[in-house]
Structure 1
Amino acid sequence: MLSRLLTPLFRYFEERVSPYPEGEISTPPNGLLPFIWHFSRPVWPWLLVMSLLTALVSTAEVVFFGYMGELVDWLSSVDRTDFWGDNGLWLAGIGLAVILGLPLLVLMQSLVNHQTIFGNYPMIGRWLSHRHMLSQSLAFYQDEFAGRVSQKVMQTALAIRETVTKVMDLMVYAIVYFTGAAILLGRADPWLLLPLGLWLVGYLSIMRFFVPRLRDVSMAQADARAQMTGRVVDSYSNIQTIKLFADTEREQGYAKDAMEGFMVTVHRQMRLVTVMSVCLTLLNTLLLVGTAGMAISAWYMDVISLGVLAIAIALVMRIRFMSDWILWEVAGLFENIGTVQDGMNTIAQEPTIKDAPNAKALVVPSGEIVFEALRFQYAQAKGESKNVFDGLSLTIKPGEKIGLIGRSGAGKSTLANLLLRFYDLQGGRILIDGQNIAEVTQTSLRHQIGMVTQDTSLLHRSLRDNIRYGTPHASDDEVWQAVCRAHADSFINDLVDPKGRRGLDAHVGERGVKLSGGQRQRIAIARVLLKNAPILVLDEATSALDSEVEAAIQEQLDALMEGKTVIAIAHRLSTIAMLDRLIVVDEGRMVESGTHQELLAQNGIYAGLWKRQSGGFLGHDLEESELHDLDLDYNASM
């Protein structure tokens, strides 16, 4: 009932801060305080309100203790004859003020802390970090565990909240409370400040010794935890390979090695904690005994009243319990700072591929592609003398369909990746209809290119979402037409996931593991058919299909390629022999160019490959009459 009455109030404070701030994506600064400020700006005014309310709560507690001491002194001297008649109404008023005032103050503090800050604050960090990580280059994720990156995003956001709230809430509470207690004791008898002052020196010494060590071990622990999580996630992501090679023992050892590294940091942390707890208990016991002894002595000598004695002992007991809490919170603060610093090393990296200032959207009226004097080398190969490309030039006319042929490592897939600007060139340009792709937005560039790869990866979402991924506003009818054209309707209706979802609603598992390679490839082809981009890149697009299905889909691909500029990469030459032009690439250079018949006549690399394949790996990749004609052309050229 009470919760229902308070719901509008809860909702009001929950909506004071948006957990999903808009604006341009920016790289967080690489410095602890600027990094924290980057994620704290949207909630900063409410953090100040939180600190103010915390100061009021701690002041109210100290004032309450002081009042209780005065009450003890007053009660020790008041006449009991008509006590309630003379003082009942006044005492009832004070009691009512305390009963109403303190809970209302705590309610306001809780609404700001729990409704406005605690939920929204870390979500702001996750949202901004996730947006930034999605803008990272492909090369970044090739060097990182996906599980490790996600762990950093999640735990760093929480650590930022804990760091800031501990500083602004805990520190304010401790400082105000300790100052108020010192004023109360000092006003009664300055000597009562002596044990409190000595305790403070000892307390700060304990913090100075243990906290930095806890911070260092916490940083190591955060990194070890991320490494452990990354290895475990890597095992689950590649479970099929692990099962295929029956190497679970080795995989267990791989994970155990990371777990043991994590446990080393846990043991170091727990040893520090044990020693710190003993030192703090000894210090607090000395404070209690010292303050009680001095207070009793002062009362005995009639220097202080019985009320002050009660206040002194009560405040010291409160400080004793609070000091343990504060030290743990401070240790946690530095643990969170260590986590933030560790996460900052990953999250605050600048994307290597960024849109140029004032980049415009790519417009593709015809589809001409020009590779002009390309010079490129992968970052991990920097310092080696050999480039993947060193001056490669190639022009693809509007609507022309070319096939790229070459040995593994010759640079075929690299050329496609450069066209999509997954990497930046070290020299040269790539132009689409005269527009340098380095000067247009990456989003618009990739919207204009449809690509089917050999290693098709699907999102763990419904088949409908996967097919519609490049064309989110496509209707269900358009989705199903693409499915039929890709010959995926033969298996989609039979799919059922563990939650009972069927057909296009069925979820496909992480990376599409619930589908066979051929099924995944047909879904990828349906996605590209639906996208209908003016430039098409096919990187072994039908390699996972059997010849019968491939022949059926080829008709749809032929229709899809009509009027488009096409780059097709294939090892099975029969799948690309009928294209307008074939380009043979070797060691990053274009060594042969021409139609199938022209290349056979040159009797070079292509002719040798064709001869070894006997018209392709499978004799029925082409229609029998077409294959016969191509073989006749080859024989005539010899």
Structure 2
Amino acid sequence: MHFQAAKVKSNVSKFIVGVTSIVSLFEFFLLPHSTVNSIDFTLISSHIQLFLTLTLALKVFSVPFLSEILEIENGKNLISWILRLFLVQNIVLFYKFLQILSIIEGDQSTYFSYCYVTLLVRYVSVGILLLNELYGQRLVEAYQKLEIAKSIAHTRKVISLLKPYFIPKSYEARVSAGVCILLVLIDLPVDLFQQILNKKIMDSMTFSSSMTNNSDSHTQAKIELNMANFRWELLLLTALLDVTSCYGITHNIRTYLWRNVESDSAGRIQVEIYTRLQHQSVRWHLEQGTGGRLTKLQSSSSDFTYFMKNILLSVIPQWLKLYVSITHLAIRYPWNITCIVILTTAFLVVAKFLLSTWRSKLEKMDKEDSKAKMKKSVDALLNYETVKYFCKERYEIHRFKEAFEETTQLKFNSKFASTMSWFLENVVRTVGQTAAKMWCYWMVLGDSELTLGDFVMLEAFFWSTYAPFDSMSWMYEWGQKVAVDAADVAELLELAPEIVDVPNAPNLEVTDGEIRFENVSFSYVPEREVLSEVTFRVEAGKTMALVGPTGSGKSTVMKLIFRLYNSSSGRILIDNQDVTKVTQASLRGTIGVVPQDCVLFDDTITNNIKYGKPTDEMEQITEYDVQHAAKCACIHEAILEFPDKYDSKVGERGLKLSGGEKQRIAIARTVLKNPPILILDEATSALDTKTERKIQSVIKNICKNRTSLIVAHRLSTITHADEIVVLKGGRIVESGSHETLLAKGGEYASMWLEQLEKKDHSTTIG
């Protein structure tokens, strides 16, 4: 049996609308004739409301069960909808109980005020139900076509992804957050109490007297100053509350304690983002570029926690004050003044929504342009040598200036949209505020129970009513800037790494170190295949060399063994273990590599050499171990000539060292790691002939009794290899020993003869 959530909603709507309409009609017609003692009908009405509330409560608890038993579609949406109805009914029931209390206390004016508020809440809820019943589907379709609907849906998704990082984890941060929220809740009644005190202070200063104008028999109220009855104790109490609440002591305590929450949340967000960046594949890092990665890391700054602080400690409390103020306004002031305030508030909400799409687009364009400018500037600064080699300083400055001018124009458009929004909001607010104050002023001077204190308190109510919209405007402007960053962060949090371990993957157990490629194919882009059905075997403890022209796929083979990429098809086995079925950490921990482009960290030579060891073993490495590795790489003597010797900083990316020095430190790093499998990707390409000859004997000793794979730059460096594989166009064209391949007179022999013709043997082959 299948039920649709829409059908269940329809039945519930009809039931609520029917019962509520009957009760509301009775109250509407009987209210003008009611007295304070007419408690019977109020009790009956309250019982009906209680019945509706309990019915909805039963539905809330039963729908999850019924959704499974009756297989109701969209059960979660139905539960959310019924919960909202349940909340409305509770609000109505709350005002019903207030009506009963006012009857018991004998306050007829308060009783009528609560009755009107109850009817207002009920009519709004019934109206929403009727609109949903009659035009619900059309409204949903129209709403979904709006850009703001997509924006809200995207914002909800971003918030759901970031929500776990906004909840403090440490005990100190949780206590601080709890105290901050408690202080906010304390400030709510204190703020209302201050407004009432200000009213009483003003009333104590004035008194009203009536005098008759004989010419037109008109009675006019005259308000005079009466300082004799001034309540000084109330003024002192108000001053004390001002000091302790709002922007006083409690505000400073909240600001101080919230730092613990900010440090906890911001720290966890940044660590999580950095972790995500580290686990992304090489392909992803190449696509993003250095500037893009730095921008994404910076976007996870403390702006999010600052935004959260203002939401929790400023915006939400002000909206709670709005609810309290409107409730008190409806009870204390005539219905016409209350309606003016509510209508003005409604117009402000409409204005916000109408302007949100325009401002959102401009803010997003501004932010994206700023990120593009950041990426360009970072790339130019990182590649400063290339800029100077080609005399491109003026070109880069011109590019940066153009990007800055474009950003300036976008910022101007964004600020213009913000200014226009503020202007229109202020117009709506000023018109509503002026109308309500004039009406109140007329009633104070006329025959009314309102006093001058009520007029003063109305001003405070206006602030409490419109302050949330002021804060919302500011938070919206700030939020649009943060939202783009938050979207980037959420994208990273949602982005799954391309290279992942299979569930419960075992560690790689290397016994012999045999490597096998079985019909391996790979392509960086679908249109161009780099490797095509490559098959070879490196026997345990043997050395294999890969040679071939540029673009033949030699370095790609190395990256696939390291699992920097996954092959498109085929298998790569180490000791009969598929590299995609074992953990990446154990795979890379058993392989040592000297890449063609050796990049060092901006740290000491000692720490750069130590980097080859596993993290848990780095502290155990002695100075002797580091120097022994450096001697094996023929770099020890050169290091001793540096001013700080092994404590010398190598500069960013090792730029303080020559290419040969960087490559030898990379070799020393691999020697210290002492792996069972060794990969040398043109390890001597940056060395001069004399140094290359020295280090060749070292490489032979390192490769002895280990499985080694060498990508050759100069064929003279791999003549000792047990087997040489020649790649061309992503395929193996021939293989064998140096002597065998020369005897064949094929591709390898032609490359060898070509290099012999060069006296310095320096032609780049692959």
TM interval, shorter chain, is 0.7 to 0.9
- What aligned pairs does 1:288-303 form with structure 2 within 5 A after superposition? 288-303=433-448
The aligned residue for residue 733 of structure 2 is 591
Query: 1:55, 1:172 within 8 Å by CA — same for their partners in 2?
Result: no
**Aligned partner (choices 506, 522, 535) of residue 376 of structure 1:** 522
Q: Deviations over 1:6-41 (max 9, x none)?
A: xxxxxxxxxxxxxxxxxxxxxxx9942332224334
Q: Deviations over 1:102-146 (max 9, x none)?
A: 756435533442x22222222211111110110000010111122
- Report the CA distance shift for 1:262/1:92 in structure 2 as closer, same or farther (over 3 A): closer
**Aligned partner (choices 68, 79, 83) of residue 198 of structure 2:** 68
**Aligned partner (choices 121, 125, 129) of residue 269 of structure 2:** 125
Q: Deviations over 1:356-408 (max 9, x none)?
A: 11112112122111111112222xx21x2x53222211111111011111011
Letter in 1 for 2:191: E
Letter in 2 for 1:446: R
Letter in 2 for 1:56: I
Query: 2:162, 2:490 within 8 Å by CA — same for their partners in 1?
Result: no
- Report the CA distance shift for 1:281/1:41 in structure 2 as closer, same or farther (over 3 A): closer
Any idea what SS the aligned residue of 1:255 has? helix
The aligned residue for residue 414 of structure 2 is 269
- TM-score under structure 2 normalisation? 0.70
Q: In structure 2, how many angstroms separate the alpha carbons of the residues matched to 1:282 and 1:90?
A: 35
The aligned residue for residue 33 of structure 1 is 159
Query: 2:558, 2:679 within 8 Å by CA — same for their partners in 1?
Result: yes
The aligned residue for residue 490 of structure 1 is 637
- Report the CA distance shift for 1:98/1:316 in structure 2 as closer, same or farther (over 3 A): closer
CA shift, 1:51, in A, is 4.5
The aligned residue for residue 607 of structure 2 is 465
- Report the CA distance shift for 1:96/1:259 in structure 2 as closer, same or farther (over 3 A): closer
The aligned residue for residue 504 of structure 2 is 358
Query: 1:400, 1:566 within 8 Å by CA — same for their partners in 2?
Result: yes
Q: In structure 2, how many angstroms separate the alpha carbons of the residues matched to 1:547 and 1:427?
A: 40
CA shift, 1:586, in A, is 1.5
Q: In structure 2, how many angstroms separate the alpha carbons of the residues matched to 1:108 and 1:187?
A: 34
CA shift, 1:91, in A, is 7.7
CA shift, 1:275, in A, is 1.2
Q: In structure 2, how many angstroms separate the alpha carbons of the residues matched to 1:524 and 1:79?
A: 90
- Report the CA distance shift for 1:240/1:479 in structure 2 as closer, same or farther (over 3 A): same
The aligned residue for residue 12 of structure 1 is none
- Report the CA distance shift for 1:215/1:159 in structure 2 as closer, same or farther (over 3 A): farther
Q: In structure 2, how many angstroms separate the alpha carbons of the residues matched to 1:481 and 1:58?
A: 70
Q: In structure 2, how many angstroms separate the alpha carbons of the residues matched to 1:218 and 1:617?
A: 62
Q: Deviations over 1:588-627 (max 9, x none)?
A: 2222222111111111111111111118763699xxxxxx
Q: In structure 1, how many angstroms separate the alpha carbons of the residues matched to 2:758 and 2:592?
A: 26
The aligned residue for residue 349 of structure 1 is 495
The aligned residue for residue 544 of structure 2 is 402
- Report the CA distance shift for 1:248/1:80 in structure 2 as closer, same or farther (over 3 A): closer
Answer yes or no: is 1:218 the counterpart of 2:363.
yes
- Report the CA distance shift for 1:89/1:215 in structure 2 as closer, same or farther (over 3 A): closer
Q: In structure 2, how many angstroms separate the alpha carbons of the residues matched to 1:503 and 1:416?
A: 33
Any idea what SS the aligned residue of 1:143 has? helix
Any idea what SS the aligned residue of 1:403 has? strand
The aligned residue for residue 238 of structure 1 is 383
- What aligned pairs does 1:181-200 form with structure 2 within 5 A after superposition? 181-190=325-334, 191-200=336-345
Answer yes or no: is 1:340 the counterpart of 2:486.
yes
Q: In structure 1, how many angstroms separate the alpha carbons of the residues matched to 2:199 and 2:300?
A: 45
116-125 or 165-174, which moves further after superposition?
165-174
CA shift, 1:205, in A, is 2.3
Letter in 1 for 2:746: G
Q: In structure 2, how many angstroms separate the alpha carbons of the residues matched to 1:494 and 1:308?
A: 86
Q: Which runs of 5 or more residues in structure 2 are unaligned?
A: 1-154, 208-224
Q: In structure 1, how many angstroms separate the alpha carbons of the residues matched to 2:234 and 2:368?
A: 60
- Report the CA distance shift for 1:507/1:62 in structure 2 as closer, same or farther (over 3 A): farther
549-558 or 231-240, which moves further after superposition?
549-558
Tell me which of the two structures has the higher relative contact order, counting C-alpha pairs closer than 8 angstroms and 6 or more residues apart: 1
Give me the identity figure in percent: 26
Q: Deviations over 1:238-272 (max 9, x none)?
A: 11111112122333344345434433431220120
The aligned residue for residue 393 of structure 2 is 248
The aligned residue for residue 176 of structure 1 is 320
Q: CA RMSD in A?
A: 3.0
- Report the CA distance shift for 1:150/1:38 in structure 2 as closer, same or farther (over 3 A): farther
Any idea what SS the aligned residue of 1:356 has? coil
Q: Deviations over 1:35-84 (max 9, x none)?
A: 22243344596767655543432432222112221232245479988x89
The aligned residue for residue 554 of structure 1 is 696
Query: 2:517, 2:573 within 8 Å by CA — same for their partners in 1?
Result: yes
- Report the CA distance shift for 1:205/1:120 in structure 2 as closer, same or farther (over 3 A): same
Answer yes or no: is 1:285 the counterpart of 2:411.
no
- What aligned pairs does 1:29-178 form with structure 2 within 5 A after superposition? 31-42=157-168, 50-76=180-206, 105-113=250-258, 115-178=259-322
Query: 1:57, 1:106 within 8 Å by CA — same for their partners in 2?
Result: no
Q: In structure 1, how many angstroms separate the alpha carbons of the residues matched to 2:505 and 2:759?
A: 45
Q: In structure 1, how many angstroms separate the alpha carbons of the residues matched to 2:374 and 2:641?
A: 35
Q: In structure 1, how many angstroms separate the alpha carbons of the residues matched to 2:179 and 2:759?
A: 73
Aligned pairs, number: 580
Letter in 2 for 1:281: N
Letter in 2 for 1:512: G
Letter in 1 for 2:166: S
- Report the CA distance shift for 1:436/1:398 in structure 2 as closer, same or farther (over 3 A): same
Query: 1:573, 1:616 within 8 Å by CA — same for their partners in 2?
Result: no
Letter in 1 for 2:501: D
Answer yes or no: is 1:524 the counterpart of 2:641.
no
Query: 1:537, 1:566 within 8 Å by CA — same for their partners in 2?
Result: yes
CA shift, 1:567, in A, is 0.7
Q: In structure 1, how many angstroms separate the alpha carbons of the residues matched to 2:186 and 2:164?
A: 28
Any idea what SS the aligned residue of 1:350 has? coil
Answer yes or no: is 1:544 the counterpart of 2:682.
no
Letter in 1 for 2:294: S
CA shift, 1:322, in A, is 6.3
Q: In structure 1, how many angstroms separate the alpha carbons of the residues matched to 2:190 and 2:622?
A: 62
Any idea what SS the aligned residue of 2:654 has? coil
Query: 1:211, 1:334 within 8 Å by CA — same for their partners in 2?
Result: no
Letter in 2 for 1:245: F
Query: 2:206, 2:227 within 8 Å by CA — same for their partners in 1?
Result: no
46-55 or 405-414, which moves further after superposition?
46-55
- Report the CA distance shift for 1:235/1:96 in structure 2 as closer, same or farther (over 3 A): closer
**Aligned partner (choices 192, 201, 205) of residue 346 of structure 2:** 201
149-158 or 568-577, which moves further after superposition?
149-158
Letter in 2 for 1:405: V
The structure having more radius of gyration, on CA atoms, is 2
CA shift, 1:208, in A, is 1.0
The aligned residue for residue 478 of structure 1 is 625
**Aligned partner (choices 432, 435, 455) of residue 309 of structure 1:** 455
Query: 1:370, 1:396 within 8 Å by CA — same for their partners in 2?
Result: yes
The aligned residue for residue 709 of structure 2 is 567
- Report the CA distance shift for 1:88/1:611 in structure 2 as closer, same or farther (over 3 A): closer
Q: Deviations over 1:434-457 (max 9, x none)?
A: 111111111111111111122111
